[in-house]
A = this chain, B = another copy of it.
């Protein structure tokens, strides 16, 4: 057992600030520990009372003189740091700091919190909180919280950034009968954070599904690593609230403008294999289903109903949600034809029709689940005069256990007529709802997890050896030494070339002769532009010449561009004239990178050219750990993909080259964290190869 695991499996718990006064937090925690069924030692710490809640109390943690796994701090905030010191000296492994008044109240509290963490570090203690409700584990069992009740025993770990929400969910779960393995409120997460609790729950054999309510993430890369590992074993479902302010900031670049405020979390969650819940209802519907249902092998759903309307409603949900209506095998159809009355519909959805007794449900459901073309089923029931609701419930539970690999949900629409059946189904682990749609939404979530679980197996970062780091470093050093953060266009092209990212040739000429030489090297026609960070509207002042077809035109252009620029902007710093080869027009895409403060660089791909932000057609992936499969997926998600594939009979573009360019941009941004923004827009994609036309690279100073 790792040290962290002992937080949830303590053998001894001390409560500092334990109290005999009902209503005090230190009283509630002692009572909760006592009544939780905890098998280890409980040490109330109280400087005055020799006994708390009938247990021997100690004046100080130093007086216990036995190993202490967990100390719960319910002391006034101003004594919390000295108390933590004492805990350290007493050999406490973990502190659960319920005490509030830290970071959440401002500067002074923040400093106090830093001191708390410092002293914990010094003694190698870990901290939950401060400003939290505490933690409980129903299998250990122990309850180191001040909540009114203990959670029902179950297999869901619930981890929440909001303590009040914990209390609310706990109360709600007692009424609805939802059970939990672990219930964690981590408060200010001064030390242990969401990643640690995901790791703990992933290693907990009693936890089948991990649910989180999060408002932010402390350490993006570690969160992703831990969540990916967890996802390989069990679903991680997160309700993330609040929109990230980070996205909006980066909007100075094309790529930045393509990213929405939620793009970073969406991208990170995808990489992490996290199943994202849109609402609290969905979070707990899914969590509950994962504790009782197997993961479906595919997306093909069978629907069994005794009424047409709900069957159509379910079919609509299946198709809208990306699942498929199962197509029954010949065998199944032949069997159903025999077994069902002629009026019944034996195609999916199977309509056993209004005069059906329970046996028709039994026949249809078993036939569907036996069919190899079926991955999951949902059973719909309307309370007709003849249907034996309770028996249908039994039939479903039996069929579930006969086909243990296929999840089944149910919707019994009705009230008093169906309630016994609904209760029986829920008690026997069949997720059952009042209407057809939630049962389908649950299956959609489960199928999505199956995909995510497979996707997180994919881990080989796409890396190229033929890149020239030193050259790039030298260019960046020069740029920074020059007091700039934006690379000149020819510099950006040099960087791209060093990483074999295809770019239209571009050189900075400082004389007529150089310009002429560069142009003949790269080949005509060329475009020439004044190279100056101080001149914005280059075309307007005569600082741009396009379509230059000969050495002579190039020489003349050099002179006139320099003259025009000096006249228009006498004080501008001029680096020379950029000579760029004019490339044949291709299909326009964008490749770019923006940086998220939590998750680091994200590469982007989408439709490019001047309409890039109009279409808003882009997909994102984390640069770090980017795999070939991810690159292929991100391209396939865009509308640009349709063009690359050869739209309306056009010749397809060189998609492997596009993939490679994205991966190389990702590697460049991984290797050089000082790149703060990168845009290649447009990239011309051709049937063979591609060419980055306009490359912008910005560094953090």
Contact = CB atoms under 8 A, between A and B. Distances in A.
Interface of A: 23, 105, 148, 160-165, 167-169, 171-176, 213, 215, 239, 241-243, 279-281, 306-310, 312-313, 315-317, 319, 343, 354, 382-385, 413-419, 434-438, 610-611, 614-615, 639, 642-643, 647-648
Contacts of A163: 307, 354
A174 B416 CA distance: 8
Given A280-B437, A435-B280, A648-B610, A307 B415 contact: no
5 contacts: A164-B309, A164-B354, A173-B415, A175-B414, A279-B435
Q: How many copies of this kind of chain does the complex include?
A: 2
Nearest to A283: B435
Given A280-B437, A437-B280, A438-B281, A241 B415 contact: no
B383 A171 contact: yes
B172 A312 contact: no
Given A148-B385, A163-B307, A242-B316, 19 more contacts: A148-B417, A162-B307, A163-B354, A164-B354, A164-B382, A164-B384, A165-B307, A167-B383, A168-B413, A171-B383, A175-B416, A241-B309, A279-B437, A280-B435, A281-B434, A281-B437, A281-B438, A611-B643, A614-B642
A213 B173 contact: no
Contacts of A436: 280
Nearest to A162: B309
Contacts of A169: 413
B312 A215 contact: yes
Contacts of A419: 175
Contacts of A385: 23, 148
A383 B168 contact: yes
A438 B414 CA distance: 21
A281 to B, nearest CB: 6
Contacts of A415: 171-176
A455 B316 CA distance: 29
B413 A165 contact: yes
B610 A639 contact: no
A153 to B, nearest CB: 16
Contacts of A639: 614-615
Contacts of A164: 306-310, 354, 382, 384
B382 A310 contact: no
Nearest to A284: B435
A434 B172 contact: yes
A530 to B, nearest CB: 21
Nearest to A617: B615
Contact of A241 (B313, B610, B615): B313
Contacts of A105: 343
In the A-B complex, the 9 residue pairs with the smallest Cβ-Cβ separation, listed nearest first, are A175-B415, A162-B309, A164-B307, A168-B413, A171-B414, A168-B382, A280-B435, A164-B382, A241-B312
A161 B309 contact: yes
A615 B647 CA distance: 12
A418 B242 contact: no
A76 to B, nearest CB: 16
A288 B436 CA distance: 20
